[in-house]
Structure 1
């Protein structure tokens, strides 16, 4: 078992004193103002049993199993990023919480409950967790959400409200899908995780602020869409990230996700899977490479993953498709 401080270090959040901030309501700081300096802290008094994570520009997802050390587990949280946390397993029956300089409150949580802790705000307390607890933590750069209002918005202008329970079935479902992807990662996981986290971020923004993000109706400009498709076609055998595609289109990641869907009718992850399937079909028809070699050339990582995806998309196995071709 690994001590919890190693997990804290992995998030870049050492044990430090936490400067408090008194605001707990949603607000937008004036443009050009500098956000308050904060020393990050992530303390959870438990041993880490298993940890899986995926990180990209603007965010990180961590699935962590922990073993409490005592009857009451102490915790403290203050990050420069917004945090969305899903209680996956071992939900506490009672917790005493204090947010910023507010009063202590006694509450409980259930499996499937989703909490939002805004960036630069302090949450501390203790809870009577069971013998094992599993959490999914999604940390999001504030800039990622700021740009949902305006692609030219100043960094860190949005101050979200603290929500101990988002009480949204869609976000809870998306977090469960994210959990499954971290539990069983595949060669295409990163792009899927990035896209899913963008969807979670946009919906959380809409719920917490009651303001709709920028409307994406016309999709990407034809020239930018062609550049993106050409890049995908030329890199099917390589790892393709959402950040790569967004940079080519010269928009934010979350803007790109919605604009690409508006242009093509499907998400970027789904589009790339289909292109890789088409590449595999062409190579299978040519008959010059083994199925294992085709799996690598088409970007599926291994033959098993290709077979699973191929059967799902085409309705048959690569070997049977080659025989029929």
Structure 2
């Protein structure tokens, strides 16, 4: 699980992983790679981000971990194993008999603090852990990998929503106990402003953090308040608006599916087609012909 050069890490792990792929968005960086068989992999790593790591396939017969923040681990590394390393916590690794595919999400501390501030009542406090069985986090990171495999990119709005879910889950299960206050609702003027911004920018990249900033809220507070007000997430709202816009455009202009996807803000035509079919029950190509 050695982070790549594009992620901005300091690393010294040998031998290195292969087939590296990386995708960045507002609150973090997703990396995935594979490690061919090696009798021994050893080295040190340190990252300025909070790092969530998952072994997707394979593993290591033995994994030894020592960190500067006091965490120790000595045991097997198995598929589905989840680990977490706080920002700036140096980590020494020794992996014996390893062959694996892995993925990681590096969360920018300032973004994570903004998401959790209203609940944690202070800075993020999640201790390092290694090789924990957690189906939710393993599945979430696997979904990042699946979308990157299928689309060749990560939709920033999708990545923001998934990242917020992961950050809040980490804090709830592994962070300091906190009793979140009931989510406040958006004021009418805030909801009108968000709806106007979304409609004006449907053909562009839309990020949750930017919508939140437009009405003076943190990303986490905005996500909770929007759901409490509308009964749906910001991601669902933007997706519905894009599908409605696509239906209107398809009724008047003979565009290809790829052109239609770009007109309503989807970088990936396949991702657009999946969401369109899920929402309408038909493929966008059939709607265009009909």
TM-score normalised over the length of structure 2? 0.86
Question: Is residue 2:255 matched to residue 1:290?
Answer: yes
Q: Which of 84, 103, 106 does residue 139 from structure 1 map onto?
A: 106
- Confirm or deny: 8 A CA contact 1:91 1:109 kept in the other structure: yes
Distance 1:152 1:118 in 2: 16
Q: How does 1:198-277 map to 2 (within 5 A)?
A: 198-212=164-178, 214-277=180-243
The DSSP-based 3-state class of the residue aligned with 1:55 is strand
Q: Identify the residue that residue 8 of structure 2 maps to in structure 1.
A: 12
Q: How many residues align?
A: 287
Higher strand proportion (structure 1 or 2): 2
Unaligned runs of 5+ in 1: 14-40
CA separation of 1:213 and 1:136: change in aligned 2, threshold 3 A:
farther
- The match for 1:57 among 22, 26, 33 is 26
Match of 2:66 among 89, 94, 98: 98
Contact kept, 8 Å, 1:310 with 1:318, in 2: the verdict is yes
Larger radius of gyration: 1
Cα offsets for 1:57-90 (capped at 9, x unmatched): 332111122335x410013222222111011122
In the alignment, the residues of structure 2 paired with residue 101 and residue 202 of structure 1 have an alpha-carbon distance, to the nearest angstrom, of: 22
- 1:154-204 alpha-carbon deviations (Å, 9 max, x no partner): 7xx444211114433322222222221222236772211121011101110
Deviation at 1:296, TM superposition (A): 2.7
* Equivalent of residue 67 in structure 1, options 36, 40, 64: 36
The aligned counterpart of 1:22 is: none
Within the alignment, does 1:149 sit opposite 2:109 as a pair?
no
**Within 1, Cα distance between the matches of 2:89 and 2:138?**
23
Residue 206 of structure 1 contacts residue 213 of structure 1 at CA under 8 Å; is this kept in 2?
Answer: no
Native 8 Å contact 1:199 1:254 kept in 2: no
Whole-angstrom CA distance in 1 between matches of 2:217 and 2:94: 42
Q: Aligned pair in 2 of structure 1 residues 249, 52: CA closer, same or farther (>3 Å)?
A: farther
Displacement of 1:322: 4.5
Q: After the TM superposition, list the runs of 4 or more consecutive aligned residues in structure 1 that deviate by more than 6 angstroms.
A: 151-154
Residue 194 of structure 1 is aligned with which of 135, 141, 160? 160
